[in-house]
Amino acid sequence: MELTQQQLVQWRREFHRFPETGWAEFWTTSRIADYLEQMGFEILLGNQIINRDFVRGRQQAVVEKGLANAVAYGAKQKWLEKMDGYTGCVAVLDSGKPGKTLALRFDIDCVNVMETKAPEHIPNKEDFASLNDGFMHACGHDGHITIGLGTALWLSQNKDKLSGKVKIVFQPAEEGVRGAAAIAASGVIDDADYFSASHIGFCADSGTVISNPKNFLSTTKIDIRYQGKPAHAGAAPHLGRNALLAAAHAVTQLHGISRHGEGMTRINVGVLKAGEGRNVIPSKAEIQLEVRGENKAVNQYMVDQVMRIANGIAVSFDVEYETEIMGEAVDMINDTELVGLVEEIVLAHPKVHSANANYAFNASEDATVLGRRVQEQGGKAIYFVLGADRTAGHHEAEFDFDEDQLMNGVNIYTALVQRLLG
Amino acid sequence: MELTQQQLVQWRREFHRFPETGWAEFWTTSRIADYLEQMGFEILLGNQIINRDFVRGRQQAVVEKGLANAVAYGAKQKWLEKMDGYTGCVAVLDSGKPGKTLALRFDIDCVNVMETKAPEHIPNKEDFASLNDGFMHACGHDGHITIGLGTALWLSQNKDKLSGKVKIVFQPAEEGVRGAAAIAASGVIDDADYFSASHIGFCADSGTVISNPKNFLSTTKIDIRYQGKPAHAGAAPHLGRNALLAAAHAVTQLHGISRHGEGMTRINVGVLKAGEGRNVIPSKAEIQLEVRGENKAVNQYMVDQVMRIANGIAVSFDVEYETEIMGEAVDMINDTELVGLVEEIVLAHPKVHSANANYAFNASEDATVLGRRVQEQGGKAIYFVLGADRTAGHHEAEFDFDEDQLMNGVNIYTALVQRLLG
Amino acid sequence: MELTQQQLVQWRREFHRFPETGWAEFWTTSRIADYLEQMGFEILLGNQIINRDFVRGRQQAVVEKGLANAVAYGAKQKWLEKMDGYTGCVAVLDSGKPGKTLALRFDIDCVNVMETKAPEHIPNKEDFASLNDGFMHACGHDGHITIGLGTALWLSQNKDKLSGKVKIVFQPAEEGVRGAAAIAASGVIDDADYFSASHIGFCADSGTVISNPKNFLSTTKIDIRYQGKPAHAGAAPHLGRNALLAAAHAVTQLHGISRHGEGMTRINVGVLKAGEGRNVIPSKAEIQLEVRGENKAVNQYMVDQVMRIANGIAVSFDVEYETEIMGEAVDMINDTELVGLVEEIVLAHPKVHSANANYAFNASEDATVLGRRVQEQGGKAIYFVLGADRTAGHHEAEFDFDEDQLMNGVNIYTALVQRLLG
Amino acid sequence: MELTQQQLVQWRREFHRFPETGWAEFWTTSRIADYLEQMGFEILLGNQIINRDFVRGRQQAVVEKGLANAVAYGAKQKWLEKMDGYTGCVAVLDSGKPGKTLALRFDIDCVNVMETKAPEHIPNKEDFASLNDGFMHACGHDGHITIGLGTALWLSQNKDKLSGKVKIVFQPAEEGVRGAAAIAASGVIDDADYFSASHIGFCADSGTVISNPKNFLSTTKIDIRYQGKPAHAGAAPHLGRNALLAAAHAVTQLHGISRHGEGMTRINVGVLKAGEGRNVIPSKAEIQLEVRGENKAVNQYMVDQVMRIANGIAVSFDVEYETEIMGEAVDMINDTELVGLVEEIVLAHPKVHSANANYAFNASEDATVLGRRVQEQGGKAIYFVLGADRTAGHHEAEFDFDEDQLMNGVNIYTALVQRLLG
């Protein structure tokens, strides 16, 4: 393997062709591991990088179907065994010389979008469109994997110029901000002095980099499930325990959670499904919601209120309940040392003509969970946006991005490594 | 004293002139005790007849004001001391001969109604209208006291013709069905083999008796109070714990309590007061409600749901709460032996021309609490309606009743005594 | 064709083998029409018997799939054309002699139940189990069709002994009480002097008849749909119009509809589905509910409240809405003349040993819509229950009934005809 | 009259001694008019300065009681007649020379606080404490009146040095942000090129001025009243129209109004009173609420939602309703020209040592309604805070302020006049 634009495009298109949804990236992980093994990395998988107590939004049926598809598509048994049902991997490069530790993170999952059949869509024209029906790399994570592999390849070829260690995290289930918490909680990057992650495209065009996006929203995704008891709605309604009515009251209470004096909040019950039939007291209900906060503390306030209401409703309606955290991201403030470093690198780069430090991200990203973990251990973290022209918005069926920017991404990461560990 | 129509009218008008509200019948009790003492009865008061743990809906401010008024109006200190703050009395007549025990119950409180000033209103014309502003015997309990005293007088004069015992209960606080529970729980009539109570007027005209009213509704009156924490609604709403919002949600849950497959139910939140000011997170809320049920079990189902909801809301909104039972009545089914007896008595009476056994009462009366207590101990109970023409509906400012029916009432009670203890 | 037990069993099993759900009984109607045509009846179909404005709970997708299945199973084109998408038929026999008109009604739809595969289940053992996967005649309507055809056969063979007219209604979509209203509103039985309908089994065993079931519950089945506007729950929640939140508040208001002082009521929101995704302001919501009342007026009170709330919520949340009546049944009181007649017939029947006049039906049946229509036009109506032993409860996968009772049913109907039109 | 510190203190104490609440400042207005008349001003009153359609939060009972007290305390009949029930006045000084128009505003109402009896409280020690029981100038508006009169006195003595016009607005009912809207809507200051208002004390100490307070919150105070129909909760609940239940549901909907993507919002239902008795379907309910928004548009969004919900609830519960705007204030941004001017004046003043331009006001003030009116007509506006040491917080019973700062206030206003009209 050689670090060429051709190699990057080949990787990107290979992964684009078989997109896998969060916690089902079995083939994807397997294929990344193949390449990393060829490059000579130590590869951590399964329990080595995943703390199962912090796994969010992983549905058994999705995992099982994904695993079957991955096996059919050629995922290697030896990797699957090590994964033990949990996707993602971490490549470790130890220079053997004392020095700092740098963690890099690339997310690998796709979104549940059916790729367009339009003939002018480049993946169709050049024959690398999704073979996994209903799934598509419509958020550019195929590009992220590629930049991660490109960076890994450079590292494997330049190990002797470095001191310290590099850990390259290929993270599952970023969509729905579900995967980072389990990796953070595994402790696998707790020794990192530096952390960097990035997103391709977003609102930045080819040739620009946003070095210091602000206003990451803290968010938590929660499901509440109520279990009551059915009864005949005509003959014996008093014998029922009404999960639908409980859920409806829960929704009215949840939307009434007080504003917070110290920052913006959000609450949305996005989905509610309840009941079995018109003439039966409903015994089951499910609520899917999310809260957000201007910062971690304000978001936590919202989570606390949700949990209290979920419980109070169960008491009022004599139903059983469970809550499940399906995803979470926090806010993060880039460390100025790293912002300065990225700006220097970027402005020195012939193909990047501007760096913007003041963009309001106004969205959630679970790389922040990893970044803050490193910061809490005393390290420094940065998240930047790598500009790339797009053919459509992220998550749209017509999404595609400018592949020429992949090498810029690799260059920034390798320059960062040289500056920090060189 | 002689048992004449004139005596009965005199008593009735004396009590009509100074009506006292529930748990504040200090002068009324004192005056009844005066008469009973003259007749030679043993008189039980205060702790002898009231179990304070079961006192319902007694407000300290009302009691204190009532006591002051009663003293000013001439209530005797010796009775007040024995009452020790708790009104009502029981007269005991022991024949000295072995026999059955018969308990009779007469209620003594008034309603919070301002008596009409209309000159054609007989209490105005004949100068016995209420002197206690804002209070009125507009439900006929002045008549009940009178029938009780008349019966007592006959008993004191005919003691030697009887065997066994008679206990005459002058019960406080029937309005709001608050007083009977405390007397029942005192055990003072637990030895009764028979129990009888009645109401004057209601829907029966002069000359008729309803011997077997049906469909007494079980009911419970409950207050719920929430205590939260105030906070500035603009600057720091998240620091408040909102008792008003809690109460509003409680109301929506309470009204949604499921119908019962085995009988009619009712729920009414009749009063809600909450909040201190427009720009403060409300810290206090009070709900006054009642539930009803076709029978005691169905009513209890409603009470259980109310208690569960009161608690669940407190959990949801992180507020403190208390519930207080302010009144209660149960359903009761008259014993057929006593119904038959009353019908015989009534039909033999020259001034009563019909007895109706099939009237649906469709209301609540806390004599049922005493009647069922006797039934649960193996005794028999009856509640009947003594017809009397009225000038207006019960609880209306123009209410008055046909005083000629008072003697009929005494006659029925004394005939009952003769038949049961003669 | 001969009116024998063998013929009845053959019919019952033929219809059992191809059950069709409400408003999809295309093959069933076609096959009934075949037999009626052979017997020489005038056959009314489609617009002749269905007023489309009163069709309840007919889903286009179900109709289309049912039609395709029916065609594949051999439904005749000439009947399908006359049906014009609306199932059911009415057979008319005009004696040519002046006289009364008698309407009989038999319902023909199945339930959405998967028939058991248990080998001891007679339809499996004797090879007439459902071929229409997921559907089953588990409520005995195959028996009803059979009794209707048997009665029709007898009529065709005894026409000369009768005066007046007979109209035999084969009604679609009884399950969910959806089909009768459209037939009633077509006016097809408005000339009937007498009306009779019945159910097999229910709670009566072989050899018994319930001549006068009481307590039919009036009921209305209603769907409410809210349409709002989606928006990003993080960035611009104020731009959304929240259909889920509207629906949740609707549920809390609906369950709080006041009890009625004049009779039992019920409300059940049995199903609620709302929302598209966790981070989108939900734009769609659907509520499926039913109300019931002790009589038609009390049920109508409930319907009126539901409609008012559906509207008020739309105003509060600025969402569009529609309501759809998905089914309805009323209460009905049997005419004593017909009750007496059925009891006479039944008690004279060698195979029926008892008639019970006092059974509380406590359920809904849309034959009442037809019966009351006849009563409102001055005619008389009866609904009775024809006892039959069952192997399991109605609507259960193991349900089967005693085929020997089919001839009893035919005998009762033909005796009725003879008594009324003979 | 001479413009001396002694005169200012005399005025301040005279007004302190007879505080009047919002819309009841009859004596206060009368007394101000007396002084203005002596100084030779044209005085506008009643309809000349008040548009009654925009009067907020004026309660008839309060007005009548206030009027009676004012008359008793010596308010002059001639002024009362011109007021015609509506307090406040505007003094107009026309220099007779062409020039700009400058409007100044001073608020005159007190708060509903009982003044402390503590002997160390200066108004007690020096005998000028409130004679109007339950009311107190505890927010410093007595000082505002004084500064207004001092400025007027200076103007009357220096008229010949000026060109253009000055309008001095003595505004009623600032507490609850109720009075400014009616004055703005009267158009009385629509010709103003400049507008200035101020507050004494607040968070600024003696010797400082806050020249450019920021973050005025827009707010609207709204009452909602529901009128239903009472009914017996046991016998005929279905005949009632439940205003309490309507109000409770209104509260749950109101607190669920969506957050706004473009700025902070607040909602508080601060008071809820409903219902007449425990066993009566409640027929009356009143909600007192306030909304706030980061700016006028966001606040208006909240008001629109409140109005929609108030209406939707009325539809759902078949009750009548009315909404009343009880107060309102907007945000305002000071014009930089005037901020600069005030800073210059202040820094040149020997007794003021600092000006602070960056204080976050974070509260509401209805001078903003007048200031924005002027800005919308093309004029410029400023609101500043005149520092003054206080003995307790505003609205507290122990509140008093440093009277030495009164002359500073007059100096700033007269300097402004000279700079703008000199």
pLDDT tens digits along C30-79: 999 999 999 999 999 999 999 999 999 999 999 999 999 999 999 999 99
Residue C157 pLDDT greater than 90, yes or no: yes
In this complex, is the C-beta atom of D113 within 8 Å of any C-beta atom belonging to chain B? no
pLDDT for residue C379 is more than 80: yes
How high is the pLDDT of residue B1?
Answer: 87
**Cβ <8 Å between D288 and B278:** yes
pLDDT (average), residues C235-244: 93
CB contact under 8 A, A316 and B318: no
Question: Whole-structure pTM over 0.80, yes or no?
Answer: yes
Contact between chains at A253 and B309 (C-beta distance less than 8 A): no
Cα–Cα distance for residue pair C217/C360, rounded to 1 Å: 10
For the domain covering A218-329, report its CATH number.
3.30.70.360
Q: Each residue of C87-96: pLDDT tens digit?
A: 999 999 999 9
Nearest-CA distance C259 → chain D (Å): 6
Instruction: Report how far residue D184's alpha carbon sits from residue A137's, in angstroms, rounded to the nearest whole number.
Output: 59
pLDDT at D363 over 80: no
Question: How do residues B305-360 score in pLDDT, each as one tens digit?
Answer: 999 999 999 999 999 999 999 999 999 999 999 999 999 999 999 888 887 877 87
Read off the amino acid at residue A279: N
Instruction: Out of B80-89, B115-124, C274-283, pick the least confident.
Output: C274-283
**Contact state of A256 with D259 under an 8 Å Cβ cutoff:** no
Q: Does C217 touch chain A (CB under 8 A)?
A: yes
pLDDT, tens digit (0-9, with 9 covering 90-100), for B219-269: 999 999 999 998 888 878 999 999 999 999 999 999 999 999 989 999 999
CB proximity C290 to A under 8 Å: yes
Contact D235 B362 (CB under 8 A): yes
How far apart, in whole angstroms, are the C-alpha atoms of residue B354 and residue B357?
10
For range B113-131, the mean pLDDT: 95
Would you state the pLDDT for residue B340?
Answer: 94
Residue C125 scores a pLDDT above 90: yes
Give the pLDDT band of residue D1 (cuts 50, 70, 90): confident
Neighbours of C340 (CB within 10 A): 15
Among residues A268, A395, B257, A280, the alpha carbon closest in space to that of C274 is found at: A268
Q: Please give, rounded to a whole number of angstroms, the shortest distance from the CA of A176 to a CA of chain B.
A: 27
H or E element that contains A328: strand A320-329
At a CB cut-off of 8 Å and minimum separation 6, what does A199 contact? A140, A144, A365, A383, A385, A386
pLDDT greater than 90 at residue B38 = yes
- CB–CB contact C275 A288 (8 Å): yes
Looking at CA atoms only, how far is residue A228 from chain C in angstroms?
13
Q: Which residues of B are annotated as a binding site?
A: 139, 141, 175, 199, 395
Cβ contacts from C onto D, under 8 A: 74
Query: Which tens digit of pLDDT belongs to each residue from D31-87?
Result: 999 999 999 999 999 999 999 999 999 999 999 999 999 999 999 999 999 999 999
Q: CA-based Rg of chain D, rounded to a whole angstrom?
A: 23
Which segments of D318-389 does DSSP mark as H helices, in order? 336-347, 367-376
Q: Which residue of D has its CA nearest to C302?
A: D238
B122: amino acid identity, one letter: I
Residue C362 has pLDDT above 80, yes or no: no
pLDDT band at A277 (very low <50, low <70, confident <90, very high): confident
Strands D284-293 and D208-210: unpaired
Angle at D275 between CA D272 and CA D279, to 5 degrees: 145
Residue A235: its pLDDT value, please? 79
pLDDT(C358) > 80: no
Q: What percent of chain A has pLDDT over 70?
A: 100
Phi/psi for C337 (5° steps) reads: -60, -45
Does the pLDDT of residue D279 top 90, yes or no? no
Q: What is the pLDDT of residue A418?
A: 96
Q: Among residues C135, C12, C48, C107, which one has the least CA distance to residue C329?
A: C107
CA distance C335 to C356: 15
Q: Which residue of A has its CA nearest to D292?
A: A259
D363 vs C81 pLDDT, higher one: C81
State how far the Cα of B342 lies from the Cα of B211, in Å rounded to an integer: 6
Q: Which of A268, A290, A274, A148 lies closest to A223 in space, CA to CA?
A: A290
> Can you tell me whether residue C395 is helix, strand or coil?
coil
Q: pLDDT confidence of D364, banded at 50, 70, 90?
A: confident
pLDDT tens-digit map of B256-265: 999 999 899 9
Is the per-residue pLDDT at C357 higher than 80? no
Q: How many Cα neighbours within 13 Å face the side chain of D16?
A: 23
Encode pLDDT of A292-308 as tens digits.
Answer: 999 999 999 999 999 99
Model confidence at A234, pLDDT cuts 50, 70, 90, reads confident
Average pLDDT over residues D372-384: 96
- The full set of domain ranges for chain C reads 5-216+331-421, 218-329
Residue C1 DSSP SS3: coil
Mutation target to probe the D interface, by most D beta carbons within 10 A, among C226, C229, C232, C238 is C238
Architecture of domain D5-216+330-421: 3-Layer(aba) Sandwich (3.40)
pLDDT tens digits for range D165-184:
999 999 999 998 999 999 99
Fold of C5-216+331-421: Aminopeptidase (3.40.630)
Mean pLDDT in residue range C313-339? 95
pLDDT value for B356: 80
The CATH code for residues A5-216+332-421 is 3.40.630.10
User: What's the gap in Å between the CA of C287 and the closest CA on chain B?
Assistant: 17
Q: Is A306 on the interface with C (CB under 8 A)?
A: no
d(CA B79, CA B66): 15
- State whether residue C281 sits within 8 Å of chain A by CB: yes
Q: Do D259 and A255 touch (CB under 8 A)?
A: no
Q: Where are the alpha helices (DSSP H) in D318-398?
A: 336-347, 367-376
Are B196 and B420 spatial neighbours (Cβ–Cβ below 8 Å)?
Answer: no
Is the per-residue pLDDT at D357 higher than 80?
Answer: no
Among B253, B256, B259, select the one facing C266 at the smallest CB separation. Answer: B259
Candidates 2.130.10.10, 3.30.365.10, 3.40.190.10, 3.30.70.360; CATH matching D218-328: 3.30.70.360
Tell me how far apart the alpha carbons of residues A66 and C204 are, in angstroms, rounded to a whole number.
53
**Annotated binding site of A for Mn(2+), which residues?**
139, 141, 175, 199, 395
For residue D358, pLDDT over 90 is answered with: no
| Yes or no, beta carbons of A265 and D259 under 8 Å apart | yes
Length of chain C counted residue by residue:
422
A-chain residue closest to C282, CA distance: A270
- Residue B358's pLDDT is 76
What was the pLDDT predicted at C276?
85
Q: Which residues of B are annotated as a binding site for Mn(2+)?
A: 139, 141, 175, 199, 395
Taking CB atoms and an 8 Å cutoff, what residues of chain A touch C245? Answer: 251-252, 255, 269
Tell me, yes or no, if C232 comes closer than 8 A to chain B by beta carbon.
Answer: no
Residue type at C310 in one-letter notation: A
Average pLDDT of the segment spanning B358-383? 91
